[in-house]
Structure 1
């Protein structure tokens, strides 16, 4: 994986301490919200505005450096796993979000019955349930 500064330069994004810190935060906390990433960046470099975090994340999303996902009922989350069509598991209880590789073999639900003339290039699937920790917590109660 290229160094963060090299990655920014490859995408013609000027290298700044804030941008590098945001990339490192996304590495450390995949599927984190902008607020969580902002706190992580602040711990590393000190003061940074919430708007600056949003601006950097928007730029990185547009350039394909991070992927923005937004499971139903959740704030947007950001990850650095880009360039593939993976999906996510989301815990209904605690919100834990983890990556799931695409299904292989016969996957009829990933083919639209009527594509309405669209050229489909991605399917976004979110699996919902309870993570092992929340299952154990419910079992105790």
Structure 2
């Protein structure tokens, strides 16, 4: 993948790619912890630089739902969207609406050539929905126990 994107293959880049592939929608701290299991002495800066380079090359996608820290995923190039749990912060992929690219058809494009749409659906994940139905408290989005 790295060579295909005309990037030099380095151990931090390979480790970061692996961590993001294994943990979709992971935040930077989670990625650093995962990379350090493979490369214990890797610096924060090396991981940040790798995330930036891999995102700029289109190998990773950076998302940042409102009220959340930046997160990274390896699913790129398909204009999918996300659903976010208001309670625990879990994030899941949602495919674009079916049919003729309705996600990219704005009511008024204001002269722009639109190539991507970002839609975020909000609600409660199944675990939090069940907890709410039974009256159990939830942890709040800052905890993010699932994603």
Using the size of structure 2 for normalisation, the TM-score is 0.85
2:86 aligned partner = 92
Distance, in Å, in 1 between the alignment partners of 2:74 and 2:38 is 19
Correspondent of 1:104 among 78, 98, 105: 98
List per-residue Cα deviations over 1:53-85 (Å, max 9, x = no partner): 111111001100001111111111100001101
Q: Which moved more, 1:104-113 or 1:67-76?
A: 104-113
Distance 1:108 1:56, change over 3 A: closer
SS of the residue corresponding to residue 128 of structure 1 reads strand
Q: Which protein has the bigger helix share?
A: 1
State the distance in 1 between where 2:100 and 2:17 align. 36
* Corresponding residue to 2:53 among 39, 48, 59: 59
Q: Which has the higher contact order (CA 8 A, sep 6+)?
A: 2
1:109 is displaced (CA, Å) by 7.1
- Match for residue 36 of structure 1 among 15, 27, 30: 30
The equivalent residue for 1:122 is: 116
Change (3 A) 1:106 1:13: closer
The aligned runs of 1:1-20 (5 Å cut-off) are: 7-20=1-14
RMSD: 1.6
2:145 corresponding residue in structure 1: none
**d(CA) in 2 for partners of 1:8 and 1:120?**
28
Unaligned runs of 5+ in 2: 136-147
Q: Deviations over 1:18-40 (max 9, x none)?
A: 11110100011000011110011
